[in-house]
Amino acid sequence: MVKSLIEITNETGLHARPASEFVKVAKNYKSDVFLQKEDKKINAKSILGILALCLNKGSKAEIIVDGEDEGMAMEALTDLINNMVE
């Protein structure tokens, strides 16, 4: 299991379009992917779960990946978050 703390830096936060992109990338991997904000942990392969976290600019959350390809999944997901411009 790998974990990484992220901060949402894009102006509009993780709204529908970037959340959809996050889910799309997460689904490319066999590992289980979760996002946790404070005490709320959701399946990050669900766009509704991501939207329910209300990740606005400046929000901090933890990406948790568990499975056979967890390293590659974590790298792809953190790169996506760090390079969001929308």
Question: Looking at the annotation, which residues are catalytic?
Answer: 15
CA pair distance 22, 63, nearest whole angstrom = 11
Backbone angles phi, psi at 82, to 5 degrees: -70, -20
- C-alpha–C-alpha distance, residues 43 and 50, integer Å: 8
- 45/33 Cα distance (integer angstroms): 7
Question: Which helix (H) or strand (E) is 69 found in, with range?
Answer: none
